[in-house]
Structure 1
Amino acid sequence: MNCHVKKIGVIDNYGDNHIVNFKEGVNVITGKSSTGKSAIIEIFDYCFGSSDFTIPDGVITKNAKIYFVLLKFENSNLLLGRKGNDTKAFIKEFGNDYFKDNEVTEVLFNKQNFITLSNFKKELGSYFGITITDTHVSSFYSNNNSLPTIRSVMSYLLQHQNLIANKHAIFYRFDEKEKREHTIEHFKIFLGLVDQEYFLTFQKLDKYKLELKKLEQEAPKVSSLINNIKLKIQMLLDEYEAISGCKLENISVDKLYYNSEESLKLIQNSYVKVNSGSDRNNYHIELLEKKRNDNIFILRKEEKKYRELRSSISAMNIYSDMLNKTDVPLEVKEHITKCPLCNLESDTIENEADKLFDAISWLNDELDKTPYVQRSYLSKQNKIKDCIDKIKNELSEIDKKIESIEKSNKELKKRNSINEQLIKIKLKIEAYLENIIEIKKPSELTSEINKFKKKVAITQQELDKYKLEGKIKDIEDYINRVMNYIAKDLDFEKSYQPINLKFSLKTFDIWHEKEDGKKVYLRSMGSGANWLYTHLSLFLSFQSLFCKEEKTCVIPPILFLDQPTQVYFPNVTSDYNKEFNPSDLIGNNEEKISKVDDDIKSVENFFNQIIFFCEKINNKYAIKPQIIIIDHADNLNLESPREFNSYVIERWRENGFIN
């Protein structure tokens, strides 16, 4: 985004305007205390839609009627304005050459161009290319998600007086967790790495994944439900045959299931039949009892195995405890023995030592094997337990079937006829078939699962085209490379040289990384000078990035630095002289006074490096970052052929912003 500040000003209660004119590159506003220097950055922030009125109370706020900022775009000018502590803001576009012949006056600020702050931020954002209206990454979301606005951009443009050398904070507006998270999240949008289609695709992917998960969870439940229904239908068919002596229809359960709609019509149209002379009742009971006996036999065998295995596990635990408590020798120490009479060496001890060594090796092997044996026993125990549970479930089903047939037989003694019982069974079968018709078949679910898997894969490919992770990694590497290129020429303390700054785009944390990989975060990096140079290195690297990506980046290469030299001249509240005298700003400490020359050299180097940076970026990308420095420092000796006065746009020693 090729844009820079052209004017910042105030129209007072008498209609007079007080304007500071800016240019591309380095702009220096220097002056003594209480002249309105710090109001410049606050007016800029306020005119960019800040909901807080933070312009310092005093001469300016008492006399100001309208605050304004004039921005210069490539083909137009954009005038922004606010009234004191107002909930509305002014925005109006003018032609490219309009302000060559016209000044900013009160007449330009007509009422119809003052709009609500929310609408103002949307309209202003559109000039910078911030047009995304939905940043949700889920198809199920709350309505409190923050859209990217021009306010998030401010974190990259402003380094206030209390921030520029702060060891605890790096970015403006990061004191609130929500604003911090939004600014970090919006960075990829501002750099043009993602667009509206990216978020819509992400929502689509989330929707497909949720649907796929739902189907995958549903599939085993449906299979279990259908198997359960099929078992119940089979039980009813068997019961019908046992009571009536004949089959309801010559049809299997599987056929009923796979042709459920036709089967339902068949069952509904079938007539109840009874074969009084049939032995099917007795046959079914005998069949079920035999099956029960067989299962009980298998159950007893498995229970015996289970008992024996539990006994083995118990013995193994005792054995393991005993071995663990045994003091196991690790080595055998042997000594040469000689006969006391003939003085000949004996190998008896050596042979015994070999046996002992073998015994120790065996014992250690046993200790090593014990955990594996224990785990294998436990695994077998679980398998047998599962088998026992399965047999018990089958026995339970058999008992239910026998009980159902016996119950039907007893019903014959009562007033209920066989026909009534058979009709009741028939109606139950019809009800189960109706349930099956309504339930999706596992094959249908599998087909849907495969369909959504394909959708997820295709949508993921659409997101992968953005190559977001790779691009973020490349940008992070670029920032770190440029940051350290800038930092190497700044006056970091010797203990941090050579400086090796690292910045994370995931967390927006910054640190110095030592050779051993240890991270020293900003808050632990010693003096205020280190904090100042770390801030400067990072934010200049951002400026370099914004210029490099000018065609897709919506963040303009503008940076405000408010009183950066306070690190060297902390006593700025005492600066009321007509000339800048650094000795007046360092206090009465003799040691500090003796270092004033070194401090001035560091300050001059600070300004030199910013100027060098702007020149290099302009040569490389044909864009000049606009660095606006508001400070007390003056009359500095810059590296030839550069003259400090050529960068000073305002010097407020005798007069201020508003006189």
Structure 2
Amino acid sequence: MKTLIHEIGVIDKQGIKHPVNFKAGLNVVTGKSSTGKSALIEIFDYCFGSSENTIPKGVITTSAAIYYVALAVNEQDMVIARDPDMATKAFFRRVDAFNTTEIDRDYFNANYFRPLKEFTKHLRGFFLDIDDVDESLQTRINRGQKAPTPSIRSFSSFILQHQNLVANKHALFYRFDEKEKRDQAIEHTKIFLGLVDQKFFHLSQEKERLNAEERRLERQKETNKRTSESYKQKVGPVLSQLYALMGFKDVPLSLDKVLRHPQDAKDQLDVIIVAEKINHNSDAITQRYMQLKQARNQKTSELRQLQRQASSIKKHIHEEERFVDNIKQFSSPKHVHISASICPFCQTEKNSLRESAEKLQQAISKVSGNLAQARPMKAKFESSLVEVQRTIEVVNRALTELNQQITEIEKTEKQLIEQKSLYESIVMQKAKLFALLDTLNMADDAELEKEIKEVRKQLKQITDALKVYDVKKGLTHASDKVNEYMSVIGSHFEFEASYKPINLHFSFETFDLYHLTPDDEKIYLRSMGSGANWLYCHVTLFLALHKYFAELGDKCAIPSILFLDQPTQVYFPNFNRDNSATFEEQKKQEAEQRKTLNVGQNIDEDIKAVENLFSQLSTYCNDLKSNIGFSPQIIVTDHADNLKLSNGVEFESLVNGNRWRNRGLIEPVPEQVKKAD
């Protein structure tokens, strides 16, 4: 998903703003130790919905009243923020166009803060439109709740490489040390890559249901028996009807006993159901008739309500589809051609018409942009429609059964009017009951065959529809593309000679990364030596991933941003104590320290490797911009400075004013913080 960070900043407790601005492509924030460079990635993570505040304790946390991030998602600008005193809430505000001058303490109005769980769901709507990710309804029942839907928190694994992770040999992805979060991120990858949508999960649920139905019918056919619930549904109404015709107020033989011993029940009923025991004065049949009609009225009302609900949902789905189609066809004018008006008397040129036309163009562009970013609701409507349609099927079956019972009573009354005896109707009802009891353990094979045929027909239709979603093939293709990109990207980095040519392989199914030797031996990251190798594996993989994400465009939900926090630490491990006024001064101290410690590695060689790293990052962004129109925004926080890049790009243009040698993120430091220190 095309995403761009405009600004990351802090509003301190005195109301002073401390912003850091970014642009598209490669950005570098450079400076000495303890200036707040690494805090930027933590501030972003916190504002992006993290439940834990991991911003390093110190001047920043002591000073901060608000942490904020201004970003654009598919050109929709927004500001997200956190107040450390309101840990369970987060701030969200959509804007027409981000303007840094508008950001101050009053901008973060309390009305825009919402519970953190609601915030993450709302923000997710800009990246994903999905409501139900259960492929199996049975699994949902066993679990007792719906499966977790994809969260924006899973995106962090693909876009954040912290200082302790960027060259780690034991871990590649942020948050993967927690198994539940790791498994969720891997499971949801097929959604993030656009391989499946909401329809896929509904089809999968229906396929499971129909498969279960087919197995049930097959078992019925094989065993030639009905389930006890089926017996009750058929025998119960007939037995109740028989008792009502006899005029019995009390039930002489319960349904459970009849079902438990059908033959014994027939013998007892032969004694009970006789002409002498008919109560002609009883209103039992009338009472039953009224109860059935009342039940039918209730079911009819319930059915009508469900039908109206389904119709309303379908209308909403249709309207949203029509709205989306219209928006796709809508485009604002690119240029305004207005001739200037000239006074016929004094020949003075007037620009008022031109200015009005330009304002109109801006207004049209703003309106079209807002319409295009309307949050989709189709997936939620489709989920609701599926539930309503399933309920309609249940109510329809119940209504059919009630109609049959009412019709039987009315038929009996009609026969009495036609001077047929009541006992004759009772005998017919008794015969019907006895026929059911005789065939209690027999199945209707013809009816079963018909049902099985219909289920298989529906199953084939769904199976054909699911063939469009070949998830395994899609993941394999994605892995192949990433491996292809890693082959090219990795060839430009200084891997050790034993790993050249580097041949990295990654799987979207397991999320494992390994180097494949010419002898087909897999060497996993944890078994590769040297911090430089680990760093280049991380960088190569994440650049390849983001290249693939960028090429997918809007189909991919993962934001097109990547943080690399201090990647050069493998070359300059002592730079974590960098307090020099310039990077050149720090390099001299490093060289002297290496001589003292008899470290053979030449610092100039390390500088060349670092320059190559930044050169490749810059070239990567520029090449992607040329090929597909945009590249992931890469934000690197590091000590390195004044580098000479091989692609001719000025390093200063990447720093863009974000050099912290004589200052830090919080500048000036509030007086009360200085006193506390």
TM-score between both structures, scaled by the size of structure 2: 0.65
Letter in 2 for 1:37: K
Of 62-71 and 203-212, deviating more is: 203-212
Going from structure 1 to structure 2, the CA distance change for 1:27 and 1:433 (only over 3 Å counts) comes to closer
Offset of 1:205 from its aligned partner? 0.8
Alignment of structure 1 residues 108-127 onto 2, 5 Å:
108-127=107-126
Q: What is the rounded CA distance, in whole Å, between the counterparts of 1:492 and 1:578 in structure 2?
A: 32
The residue number in structure 1 matching 2:82 is 82
The residue number in structure 2 matching 1:371 is none
Q: What is the rounded CA distance, in whole Å, between the counterparts of 1:95 and 1:474 in structure 2?
A: 38
Instruction: Give the superposed CA RMSD.
Output: 2.5
Alignment of structure 1 residues 553-592 onto 2, 5 Å:
553-580=556-583, 581-582=586-587, 584-585=589-590, 588=594, 590-592=597-599
Offset of 1:453 from its aligned partner? 2.4
The residue number in structure 2 matching 1:139 is 137
Q: What is the rounded CA distance, in whole Å, between the counterparts of 1:622 and 1:428 in structure 2?
A: 80
Contact 1:583/1:596 (<8 A) preserved = no
Determine helix, strand or coil for the equivalent of 2:478: helix
Q: What is the rounded CA distance, in whole Å, between the counterparts of 2:131 and 2:598 in structure 1?
A: 58
Determine helix, strand or coil for the equivalent of 2:564: strand
Contact 1:90/1:109 (<8 A) preserved = yes
Letter in 1 for 2:182: R
The residue number in structure 2 matching 1:656 is 664
Alpha-carbon displacement from aligned partner over 1:416-456 (angstroms, at most 9, x marks no partner): xxxxxxxxxxx999968615157432333333233222222
Offset of 1:525 from its aligned partner? 1.1
The residue number in structure 2 matching 1:473 is 476
The reply to whether residue 610 of structure 1 matches residue 609 of structure 2 is no
Alpha-carbon displacement from aligned partner over 1:21-40 (angstroms, at most 9, x marks no partner): 00001100011111001100
Letter in 1 for 2:662: E
Contact 1:3/1:73 (<8 A) preserved = yes
Offset of 1:182 from its aligned partner? 0.8
Of 85-94 and 58-67, deviating more is: 85-94
Q: What is the rounded CA distance, in whole Å, between the counterparts of 1:171 and 1:430 in structure 2?
A: 68
The residue number in structure 2 matching 1:376 is none
Q: What is the rounded CA distance, in whole Å, between the counterparts of 2:563 and 2:31 in structure 1?
A: 16
Letter in 2 for 1:160: H
Q: Say which of 160, 170, 173 aligns to 2:172.
A: 170
Going from structure 1 to structure 2, the CA distance change for 1:131 and 1:585 (only over 3 Å counts) comes to farther
The residue number in structure 1 matching 2:56 is 56
Alpha-carbon displacement from aligned partner over 1:115-170 (angstroms, at most 9, x marks no partner): 00011001111122x22111001012121621111111111110001110111111
Letter in 2 for 1:213: R
Alignment of structure 1 residues 628-647 onto 2, 5 Å:
628-647=635-654
Contact 1:189/1:195 (<8 A) preserved = yes
Going from structure 1 to structure 2, the CA distance change for 1:458 and 1:67 (only over 3 Å counts) comes to same
Q: Say which of 222, 231, 235 aligns to 1:220.
A: 222
Alpha-carbon displacement from aligned partner over 1:522-542 (angstroms, at most 9, x marks no partner): 100111111111110110011
Determine helix, strand or coil for the equivalent of 1:81: strand
Of 142-151 and 588-597, deviating more is: 588-597
Query: What fraction of aligned residue pairs are identical, expressed as a percent?
Result: 44
Q: What is the rounded CA distance, in whole Å, between the counterparts of 1:80 and 1:636 in structure 2?
A: 34
Going from structure 1 to structure 2, the CA distance change for 1:446 and 1:517 (only over 3 Å counts) comes to farther
The residue number in structure 2 matching 1:497 is 500
Going from structure 1 to structure 2, the CA distance change for 1:437 and 1:95 (only over 3 Å counts) comes to same
Alpha-carbon displacement from aligned partner over 1:280-336 (angstroms, at most 9, x marks no partner): xxxxxxxxxxxxxxxxxxxxxxxxxxxxxxxxxxxxxxxxxxxxxxxxxxxxxxxxx
Q: Could you list the runs of 5+ residues in structure 2 that have no partner in the other structure?
A: 228-265, 272-429, 668-677
Alignment of structure 1 residues 48-447 onto 2, 5 Å:
48-84=48-84, 86-96=87-97, 98-99=98-99, 102-128=101-127, 130-140=128-138, 141=140, 142=143, 143=145, 145-222=147-224, 434-437=437-440, 439-447=442-450
The residue number in structure 2 matching 1:418 is none
Q: What is the rounded CA distance, in whole Å, between the counterparts of 1:155 and 1:222 in structure 2?
A: 55
Going from structure 1 to structure 2, the CA distance change for 1:103 and 1:428 (only over 3 Å counts) comes to closer
The residue number in structure 1 matching 2:307 is none
Offset of 1:638 from its aligned partner? 1.2
The residue number in structure 2 matching 1:455 is 458
The reply to whether residue 15 of structure 1 matches residue 15 of structure 2 is yes
Letter in 2 for 1:658: I
Alpha-carbon displacement from aligned partner over 1:375-416 (angstroms, at most 9, x marks no partner): xxxxxxxxxxxxxxxxxxxxxxxxxxxxxxxxxxxxxxxxxx
Contact 1:47/1:89 (<8 A) preserved = yes
Determine helix, strand or coil for the equivalent of 1:551: helix
Going from structure 1 to structure 2, the CA distance change for 1:217 and 1:18 (only over 3 Å counts) comes to same
Q: What is the rounded CA distance, in whole Å, between the counterparts of 1:50 and 1:657 in structure 2?
A: 21
The reply to whether residue 595 of structure 1 matches residue 635 of structure 2 is no
Q: What is the rounded CA distance, in whole Å, between the counterparts of 1:77 and 1:609 in structure 2?
A: 30
The residue number in structure 1 matching 2:527 is 524
Q: Could you list the runs of 5+ residues in structure 1 that have no partner in the other structure?
A: 226-263, 270-426
Offset of 1:593 from its aligned partner? 5.4
Q: What is the rounded CA distance, in whole Å, between the counterparts of 1:222 and 1:438 in structure 2?
A: 7
Determine helix, strand or coil for the equivalent of 1:15: coil
Offset of 1:645 from its aligned partner? 1.2
The residue number in structure 2 matching 1:258 is none
Q: What is the rounded CA distance, in whole Å, between the counterparts of 1:439 and 1:658 in structure 2?
A: 83
Letter in 2 for 1:135: V
Q: What is the rounded CA distance, in whole Å, between the counterparts of 1:508 and 1:654 in structure 2?
A: 42
Of 197-206 and 15-24, deviating more is: 197-206
Q: What is the rounded CA distance, in whole Å, between the counterparts of 1:466 and 1:594 in structure 2?
A: 53
Determine helix, strand or coil for the equivalent of 1:29: strand
Q: What is the rounded CA distance, in whole Å, between the counterparts of 1:506 and 1:75 in structure 2?
A: 32
Going from structure 1 to structure 2, the CA distance change for 1:596 and 1:92 (only over 3 Å counts) comes to same
Going from structure 1 to structure 2, the CA distance change for 1:488 and 1:109 (only over 3 Å counts) comes to same
Contact 1:75/1:95 (<8 A) preserved = no
Letter in 1 for 2:118: N
Contact 1:46/1:82 (<8 A) preserved = yes
The residue number in structure 1 matching 2:250 is none
Q: What is the rounded CA distance, in whole Å, between the counterparts of 2:665 and 2:522 in structure 1?
A: 44
Contact 2:225/2:443 (<8 A) preserved = no
Offset of 1:216 from its aligned partner? 2.5
Contact 1:223/1:442 (<8 A) preserved = no
The residue number in structure 2 matching 1:488 is 491
Offset of 1:114 from its aligned partner? 0.1
Alpha-carbon displacement from aligned partner over 1:340-398 (angstroms, at most 9, x marks no partner): xxxxxxxxxxxxxxxxxxxxxxxxxxxxxxxxxxxxxxxxxxxxxxxxxxxxxxxxxxx
TM-score between both structures, scaled by the size of structure 1: 0.67
Letter in 2 for 1:487: G
Q: What is the rounded CA distance, in whole Å, between the counterparts of 2:621 and 2:19 in structure 1?
A: 24
The residue number in structure 1 matching 2:631 is 624
Alpha-carbon displacement from aligned partner over 1:2-36 (angstroms, at most 9, x marks no partner): 22000000000000000000000110001111100
Q: What is the rounded CA distance, in whole Å, between the counterparts of 2:464 and 2:200 in structure 1?
A: 12
Q: What is the rounded CA distance, in whole Å, between the counterparts of 1:503 and 1:516 in structure 2?
A: 18
Letter in 2 for 1:134: D
Offset of 1:508 from its aligned partner? 0.6
Offset of 1:515 from its aligned partner? 1.6
Of 568-577 and 437-446, deviating more is: 437-446
Q: Which has the larger radius of gyration?
A: 1
Determine helix, strand or coil for the equivalent of 2:555: coil
The residue number in structure 2 matching 1:261 is none
Of 542-551 and 576-585, deviating more is: 576-585
